[in-house]
Chain A
Amino acid sequence: MTPVPGGRALVRSHVVTGGRGTPSRNTLDHVTLITASREDVEGLEPETRRLVRLCLGGWLSVAEAAVHLGLPVSVTKVLVADLVDSGHVTATAPAAPAGAPSPQLLKDVLDGLRALL
């Protein structure tokens, strides 16, 4: 955890997202898993194209995609939401939506952790 004085200029973020700040869907969070569902990237903006190409390699979280693209998570969410809308990217539903996680999810996490010992 390191505060970066000044940080990245938000002007750039706004260019990347075409000036929009709000994702077109609010179900995306840091650990939403995404992958590419279309290979054609014609007509897409450069950053969006990079995101699709990254997602062509397999599944990864929104947070990981942001790091690999060198973008803030907030910007990446806007881009991912657009790409889900356009059919380029598939996103999983949250495993633990707002409220309590399911007993099955917790049991599976517990089993997985115990297997590490």
Chain B
Amino acid sequence: MGSALSSDPAYLPPTVRRAAKILVTGHFAVGKTTFVRTLSEIEPLRTEEVMTRAGELVDDLAGVEGKTTTTVAIDFGRRTLSDTLVLYLFGTPGQDRFVHLWEGFAHGALGALVLVDTRRLADSFDVVARLEDMALPYAVAVNHFDGAPRYPDDELRQALDLLPDTPLVTCDARDRPSSVRAVIGLVDHLLLHLPQEHP
């Protein structure tokens, strides 16, 4: 039989029918894949996303034959949260050249968690600014690296130009409880800011 059958595809529990998606973003080497790996119940998988050189995500292959394309690998993991619900976490690159790819991933996502490295704060400015421009809600998690400087929250908020109600937490992407708490901070924020259905 085909090779795809002999590998273990790690299917979902048979009663799971709902899938939620959260994006884990941030600048290069901020710990996105580590974070995904820490929370995932499976070894993180790597998708192939086809983009044009202009950075546009190819979700529709029509007409791309003549364009120069590039393939970007996106790491993702999953965590079953109940008998019926699974959460997928996608480590989505934050660099400007991936902006269109980013927008494709944002569709249907609950929100985004922005990882920040205090040694490279300036690298996070673009990521946070872009999230402000998009409709997707987000929370910020400082991924604390050993030996990295620690700043008071108000200084970080000011440096990153965060809105007063944007959650700011500190985590260690290698540590599960602290990474879970970072995602909880995001989802708490989402629940508090639900649009009113019946104004």
Which residue of A is nearest B190, CB measured?
A: A106
* Pairwise interchain contact A117-B49, C-beta atoms closer than 8 A: no
* Pairwise interchain contact B70-A3, C-beta atoms closer than 8 A: yes
* Pairwise interchain contact B190-A54, C-beta atoms closer than 8 A: no
> Which of B54-62, B118-126, B155-163 contacts its partner?
B54-62
* Pairwise interchain contact B11-A59, C-beta atoms closer than 8 A: yes
Whether B81 sits at the interface, judged by CB under 8 Å, is yes
Whether B35 sits at the interface, judged by CB under 8 Å, is no
Shortest distance from the beta carbon of A13 to any chain B beta carbon, whole Å: 6
Shortest distance from the beta carbon of B55 to any chain A beta carbon, whole Å: 11
> Which residues of chain B are near A17, meaning CB under 8 Å?
61
How many residues from B make CB contacts under 8 Å with A?
72
* Pairwise interchain contact B72-A68, C-beta atoms closer than 8 A: no
* Pairwise interchain contact A72-B73, C-beta atoms closer than 8 A: no
> Which residues of chain A are near B2, meaning CB under 8 Å?
50, 53
A14 CA / B18 CA spacing, docked (Å): 31
The verdict on A54 contacting B5 (CB below 8 Å), with A61-B88, A72-B48, A113-B187 known, is: yes
Which A residues are within 8 Å of any B CB, using their own CB?
1-8, 10-11, 13-14, 17, 20-22, 29-33, 50, 53-54, 57-61, 63-64, 66-75, 77-78, 92, 94-98, 100-101, 103, 105-117
12 pairs of residues in contact across A and B, judged by CB atoms under 8 Å:
A17-B61, A21-B60, A22-B62, A31-B108, A54-B4, A60-B10, A64-B78, A72-B50, A96-B20, A96-B21, A112-B79, A117-B181
